Amino acid sequence: MRLEAFSVCHKYGIIEAIDKVSVSLESGDFVGILGSNGSGKTTLLRLLAGALKPSMGTILLDSEDIGDMVPKVIAQKIAVVPQNGTIPFPFSVLEIVLMGREPHKGRFSRESPQDMDIVFQAMAATSTTHLAKRSVLELSYGEKQRVIIARALAQEPGILLLDEPTSHLDPGYQVEIMDLFKSLSRFENIAVLAVLHDVNLASQYCDRLVMLNHGRKVADGPPQEVVTEEILKKVYGVKAHITTHPVVGCPQVMLVPGFMSPAS
C-alpha cells in the first residue's frame, strides 16, 4: 500500500497552511512529521487522510486520486487517530472500539465472531480490555487516547495516520504505544505516519522524519539527517546539543538554556 502527496497546497482564507509539500508513505514505513506550532503538521495529516482537499497538487492512495474515492473505501485502508479526539456520548469502551469495524460491515449487518476477535485483539494491544464495560466519559484523557487508538486498530488499516498519539500519556504508556506502532510497521507491514512534538521520541522510533516550517518542507530523511543543530535552530529557534542515544544509536537533543533566536 502506498500514499503519496505531490506538491500539495492548502489555504485557510489567505493563510497558506501547506505550501507545495510532497511526501510519500508505503507499507512498513514509520514516518514522523515534526515542526513548531502552526507549521502545518495537522493540516498535512488531514490532507493525507482525505479529510481536506488540496487547493493544488495531488494525493494518491495506491495510484488512485484520494479525492475520487468514497469515504468508506478510504476507511478500509486508512485509519486516523485525531488529536484530542472527543467522544461526547456515554458509549462503553467496547462500543467505541466496535465502531472501527464499520467500514468492513454491510449497512445493517451485525458484528461477526471475527469482528469481535479483531476488536478484542485491538483492545489487548492497547491495554484497554479491562475497560470494556466502562463509559468512555468516565475515563482519564490517557485512557481515552488508548481507546481511540484501539478503535483505529480495529479497522485493520494498511495505513495508520496519528496526530500526536502520545500527548498526555505518561512515559510508560508513551513507550508502550510507540513500541506498538513500531511493531505494526515492522512486523505487520502497516505504514505508520505520526505527527509528533517530542523530537527525541520521534528520532528513537521513526525510520524517516519530515520537518515542516511555516507550511513548507525543510527536511525529509533519516533522523541523522533531520535532527541537526542547524535545522532545530531554524525551525524551533533553539540552540541544541546533539548526542547519540547509547542504546538505539539515534540522535538525541539536549536543549541549551538561556538562548533563543527567532525561528526563520
pLDDT in tens, 27-66: 999 999 999 999 999 999 999 999 999 999 999 999 999 9
74 touches 50 (CB < 8 A): yes
Instruction: Report d(CA 218, CA 40) in Å as an integer.
Output: 12
Mean predicted confidence (pLDDT) in 113-135: 94
Local structure of 49: helix, strand or coil? helix
Burial class (CB in 10 A: 0-12, 13-18, 19+), 171: exposed
Amino acid at 115: D
Rounded to whole angstroms, the Cα distance separating 252 from 44 reads 25
Place of cell 468492513: 104
pLDDT at 262 over 60: no
* Count of beta carbons in the 10 Å neighbourhood of residue 60: 15
Q: How confident is the model at residue 257 (pLDDT cuts 50, 70, 90)?
A: confident
- What residue ranges define each of the domains in the chain, with the CATH number in brackets? 2-260 (3.40.50.300)
